[in-house]
Structures are given as structure tokens and as C-alpha cells.
Amino acid sequence: MASLPCSLSSTQAPSISSTKLVHDANKHHTPFRTPPSFNPISSFTHQFIHSLPNNLLRENLEERAAELEEKVRLMMNATDMEPLSLLELVDDIERLGLFFRFQDWINKALLTLVSIENFKHRTTKTLHETALLFRILRRHGFHVSQDIFKNFKDEEGKFKAEICNDVEGMLSLYEASYLTLEGESLWEANAFSRTHLMNLMEERSMDAKMAEKVRHVLEGLPYHKSCCRLVAQHYINTYDKTEPHNLLFLELAKVEFNMEQSSYQNELKELSRWWSDIGLSKKLKFARDRLVEIFIWTVATFPEPQYAICRKVISKIAILITFLDDIYDIYGTLEELELFTNVIERWNVNSINTLPDYMVLCFLAIYNTVNGLAYDIFKERGTNCLPYLTKSLSDLCKAYLQEAKWFHNKIIPPFDKFLENARISIAAGFILTHVYFLISQDITEQVIHSLTNNDHDLLRSVYTNFRLSNDLGTSTDEIERGETSNSIVSYMHETGLPEEDVRQYFKTLMEKEWKNLNKYLIMDSIFPKSFVQVVINLVRSGHFIYQHGDGFGRQNNITKNTIKSVLLYPFQLMCHDDVEKIKF
């Protein structure tokens, strides 16, 4: 995977100053929107960001990590592991957040697994081993048939009753079911395994440690939908420490976590200085100031260490369109919004005189940032991406405007019509257009056309899933303040179904879109594999943010605590002598 060189983010394109504008952009007539239910002020202040205790020496951590990695590699290469042990080791490496260090070893290990003839035809595999094999191979792009489970089914194609008490096997089957493709019967395993696992928990038919593991999976997100960097800390805390080699893996995982935490702190401090210099949050006090939440969202989407620049660039873009969203959603009048949309489409600073001051501030901040990014990309690669970035922004604003018109005119649009517009207004297309130019080495017209016209089923699945995740998390607040441009309101109005039934139906729709996404893990497409991985991570980030309600606008305690755990609390490391004593 490739990313832009480190020099990119330091280049500044010529910009237009907004400092001479009228002082108070908040002096405004009564907006046609009702007041928002969220608190615009961030829980994570500029002072909080710059007080992050980054007192770990990265050079020392890197040296420690290199030593531990060498020990781990010697152990792995010297051990002739059985297929199940190999699969469990791969799973541990990924869940501990060490995939980036051992990607080459994992690829070789999986190639070895699929080439072992007696392994492919062996019929004595347990359900746990079979499900783990299926999940890991599919996640890594290998074609593996659902028929691998046929030995656990009866003549009617149903899972046998005798496997219902196999807790480890049922848990692995549950996790594997999320790698199902459209049209496969394996999805039946999801409800089957979940039901029996819940029954076993009620019957207390498992030890306390396994019960806690099962509860964590069933009440949270399956691993396939989880953000790897954000779940690593939990896995480190619960990792089995009984074997010597496990201690080496555990210590390396802690060092890796601390290194990444140190990097995140530095990146966030740099972003905070940029955001403070722009000063938009001080002028437009009605909008959500969510820099830290957005940065954690980019960590979920770009967890790889080499994507630091992507995290910073997309954080800048995302915080600006959050303000843009709130202008359209809660503050601007319809007349002002139409003027603003026209100015965005023209992308000409000479037209800003038609706008009120608060819109001028927002436009200039976006104009300078997008133009600066396009300038950097052109300088580094010779690719003029500005027309595509501005088109995607114009399309986004038109979608925002359509929602504002529906609200203003008290129109509840048909669900299909709403969703077609909402796939754009969720802003994933605008973000991914930037991402494509940031991470892809070979830019193709075919991909650019798909990104700027939203006409590829991979992208439509991403946008649909991200939108429905958002609406499931935020709709309660939106309904309370009278929003009509909401997918749940549209579907309730169209079908007459109660809200809870609509929510359940949306979850079914999201699973359908996931099945479509899964096929792009194992098939080639017009998109680079690195880009496909990012778009799937984007969907995962939506599940994380909105899993427990509006973790973005409302800033619930679950989201806050996760953010603090990623940014604030490093792991206590073993002393060097204790590490040297570990034998394997």
C-alpha cells in the first residue's frame, strides 16, 4: 500500500484570508430549523489535546519492538504448527493489533494452509477449526466454499443438534457467518449460533471466562465489523498469558499499542493547532466541534501506520464538512442555502459577496483546504484532482440542499427517493474521492467516473450502510426536533410500520449490503485492493460511532471512554530483564 510522502502535509497553497471579515458570524436572524439537541462544544478541548501525556520515547519503543519482533519471528519459524494452531496464531496476531508487523508471515502461512492437500480434505476438523478457517481465509481474499460446513449439517441442510453445546465452535460459527455472500445459506448459521449461545449463557453451561467472551461478542460487534485498532486494547487486556510465547506476543502488542498511541497524540496536537488557527469553531458556535471524534474515526478507517497523512488530511476535510452539514441542517435559511450551493458549484471567490458573513467564513475555510490539498497532490504526482474534488463537494451540497427543501416544505419523501439522495448527503463519496487520490498509485478514469457518479455497487453498498448506521443512531433526536429528511421517518410514513419494526428492517438491509461488500474481499474489481480495504473500514467506523446511539453529536459516555482509552492510557511494560527470561 502506498501513501503520500511526508512532505505533502507541510506544503501550503496560496490561500485567501478570512481574518478581515465581520467579527461575529453568529449574529443571524432566527433560523428556520429548530435548535439542535446536541451540545456544539466539544468535550475534548484544545487544552485537553495539548495536555495528552506523551512522555514515551518513541526511539526506545521502536528498539524494544524490533527486539520483540525478532524473538517472535524466531519462535514462529522454529515451530512446526498444526493447522488449528496456525489459524489461532493468525487470529491472535490480528486481534492484538500486530497484523502490520507480520503481514508477510500471515500471507505465507495462509498460502501454506490452502496448499496442504490432506488439510483441505480432512473430515475430522472441529466446528471451531472449520469456522476459523473459513473466516480467516475469506477475510484475506481466498475463495473458500460454504460447503466446508457440510459435515455439520443433516440431510435437510440444517445444522445438527449435536453441535449446539459446543460453545467454542458455536462462537466461531457465529463470527464466520458475517463473511457470508449474497445467496449463500450460511447466513442461517447467524441466528442458529446466536440463539444457542444465548441459551447456554442462560443455563450457565460455560465457565466464567468463556461466558464473558461470549457476552462481549454478542453484545458488541462481530470481529468482521469491528475496527481493528479500536478493539486491540480489549484483546490485549483479555489475552491468555499462560504460555511463554503468549507473553512475547502480549508484550509486543503492548509496545505496538503504546507506539501508535504516541503517534496519535502527536497527529492530534498538530491538527488541533491547525483547527485553532482557522478559528471557525470560535465564529460559528452553533456547529458541532468534534475534532477528536473525527480523528478517532480516521484511526478506525486508516489504522495502518503508513497512513498518518491520510488521517490528518481526512480529519481536516471531515471537520469542515461537519460545519457545512450543520449550516444546512440547523442554521441557514433556504434562501441562504441556495446561494451557498451556487457559490460552491461555481468555486469562484468572486461570488462570495452574495453570502452572509458566516457562510463566507465557512466557504473560505473549505476553499483554502481543498485547493491546498489539490495543489499538494498535483505537485507530488502531476495529477490534477481539483475538478473531481469540487464536483463531489458540489454534489454533497446539492444533496444537503434537497434535504433542507424537504424540511422547509414539510415534505416526507418516499423512502427510495430519500435514500438515493442520502447516499450522497452522508458525505462518504466526498471523503472517498479524496482518499482515492491520496492512497492510489495508478489513477484511472474508470474509478474516477464511479466515484464522481456513484454508479458502482461497491460504493452504493458503502454509502447505504454508512447512511443507515447514521440514521439508526441519530434518528431519535432528529424525530424529536421534527426532521422529515430521515430514512426512518420516510419508511414509517410510507409503510405505516412502527419505528422499532423499521429499525429491524434496516438492520436486515445493512446485512444485505455487507454480503455485497464481502464479495469484494475475494474478487478483483476496478478498485485497488488497498482502496477496497479502506471503504470497508469506513463502514466499520460507522458501526463503531453509532453502535450505542449518536456517539458523534451527543458524545455518549461509551464513545468518550473508548476515545480516552485509545489516546490516554498506555500499557505498563515489562522490564527488559524479565523479557529476556522468557523461554519458549
Query: By the 8 A CB rule, do 257 and 121 touch?
Result: no
| pLDDT band of 516, cuts 50, 70, 90 | very high
Comparing 109-113, 324-328, 461-465, the range with the smallest average pLDDT is 109-113
| pLDDT band of 6, cuts 50, 70, 90 | very low
pLDDT on residue 392: 97
pLDDT on residue 104: 93
Question: Mean pLDDT, the chain, as a whole number?
Answer: 87
One DSSP character per residue, 226-291 reads S-HHHHHHHHHHH----SHHHHHHHHHHHHHHHHHHHHHHHHHHHHHHHHHHH-HHHH-TTS---H
| pLDDT mean over 552-572 | 82
- Cα dihedral 424, 430, 431, 434, rounded to 10, equals 160
Q: Which three cell numbers stand for residue 10?
A: 507541510
CA gap 465, 513 in Å, rounded: 7
Which residue, 263, 318, 273, is CA-closest to 294? 318
Comparing 250-254, 270-274, 574-578, the range with the smallest average pLDDT is 574-578
Please report, for residues 72, 120, 226, 530, the alpha-carbon distance to residue 123 in angstroms, rounded to integers and kept in the order given. Answer: 32, 9, 31, 35
For residue 26, is pLDDT > 50? no
State which amino acid sits at residue 482. Answer: G
| pLDDT mean over 13-22 | 40
For residue 349, is pLDDT > 80? yes
**407 or 18, higher pLDDT:** 407
Give pLDDT tens digits for 117-148: 445 555 568 999 999 999 999 999 999 999 99
Name the fold adopted by 279-567: Farnesyl Diphosphate Synthase (1.10.600)
Please state which CATH class domain 58-252 belongs to: mainly alpha
State which amino acid sits at residue 82. Answer: E
For residue 437, is pLDDT > 80? yes
pLDDT on residue 80: 79
| pLDDT mean over 505-529 | 95
For residue 16, is pLDDT > 80? no
pLDDT on residue 271: 96
CA gap 84, 126 in Å, rounded: 9
Across 168-177, 285-294, 448-457, 567-576, which has the greatest mean pLDDT? 168-177
Residue 572 neighbours by CB under 8 Å, 6+ apart:
254
Give pLDDT tens digits for 196-205: 999 999 888 7
Size of the chain in residues? 584
For residue 5, is pLDDT > 70? no
Q: Which three cell numbers stand for residue 309?
A: 497523512
| pLDDT mean over 36-55 | 75
CA gap 105, 99 in Å, rounded: 9
Chain centroid to CA 360: how far?
31
| pLDDT mean over 86-97 | 93
pLDDT on residue 490: 93
- Which strand (E) or helix (H) includes residue 396? helix 386-408
Q: What letter does residue 153 receive in the DSSP assignment?
A: B
Q: Would you kindly state where each structural domain of the chain is located, as residue ranges?
A: 58-252, 279-567
Give pLDDT tens digits for 380-419: 888 999 999 999 999 999 999 999 999 899 899 999 999 9
Comparing 73-82, 261-270, 507-516, the range with the smallest average pLDDT is 73-82
| pLDDT mean over 69-75 | 89
For residue 223, is pLDDT > 70? yes
pLDDT on residue 7: 35
Comparing 10-19, 311-320, 409-418, 460-469, the range with the smallest average pLDDT is 10-19
Query: What percent of the chain clears pLDDT 90, i.e. is strictly above it?
Result: 63
Kindly report whether the global pTM for this prediction surpasses the value 0.85.
yes
**58 or 171, higher pLDDT:** 171
| pLDDT band of 351, cuts 50, 70, 90 | very high
| pLDDT band of 23, cuts 50, 70, 90 | very low
| pLDDT band of 480, cuts 50, 70, 90 | low
For residue 30, is pLDDT > 50? no
| pLDDT band of 547, cuts 50, 70, 90 | confident
Same fold, 58-252 and 279-567: no
pLDDT on residue 121: 56
| pLDDT band of 27, cuts 50, 70, 90 | very low
